Homo-oligomer: A and B are copies of this chain.
Amino acid sequence: MNSDVFAATPEPPYYAVVFSSARTEGDKGYAVMAERMDALAREQPGYLGIESARGADGFGITVSYWESLEAIAAWRSNAEHQVAQENGKRIWYGHFELRIARVERAYGMIQKDRATN
């Protein structure tokens, strides 16, 4: 697995947007949009990283990390992102929940015999 699937976030505090979603059936332009939004997010001021997983049942969690609430608000109001948000509500997601949270503590572990692979 590529270790880039983990976000290399700084020491807390910072902010997380936890986006849990159930995909509707069929792609309907979703994959192209998701790749574009991922690339666009990385260009935004205050962006710290993103992690995303979706199971075969269509339920997924994407967590993006940000320096501040202001950075999150700016990304939310990005014009191209707003179009994607509207299409998400109409087309791609049957249900989603979005939570904005302040990360207060963080730690992790990489197995030694894997860290050098």
Q: Is A40 an interface residue (CB 8 A)?
A: no
Partner of A56 from the list B20, B56, B114 (CB cut-off 8 Å) is B56
**Interface residues contributed by chain A, number (CB under 8 Å):** 45
**Residue A5 interfacial (CB < 8 Å):** yes
A101:B57 contact, CB within 8 angstroms: no
User: Quick check: B104 and A57 within 8 Å, CB to CB?
Assistant: no
Total identical chains: 2
For A7, A57, A93, A102, which residue has the most chain B Cβ atoms within 10 angstroms?
A102
- In the complex the two chains form, is A110's CB within 8 Å of B95's CB? yes
Q: Which residue of B lies closest to A51 (CB)?
A: B20
What 1/0 mask marks residues of chain A from 9 to 49 whose CB sits below 8 Å from any chain B CB?
10010001010101010000000000000000000000000
Q: Is A53 an interface residue (CB 8 A)?
A: yes
Q: Which residues from chain B contact A108 at a C-beta distance below 8 Å?
A: 95-98
A99 contacts across to B, CB distance below 8 A: 9, 12, 16, 103, 105-106
Residues of B within 8 A of A20 (CB): 6-7, 51, 53, 63
List 4 tightest A-B contacts by C-beta distance, closest first.
A101-B101, A97-B108, A61-B61, A101-B103
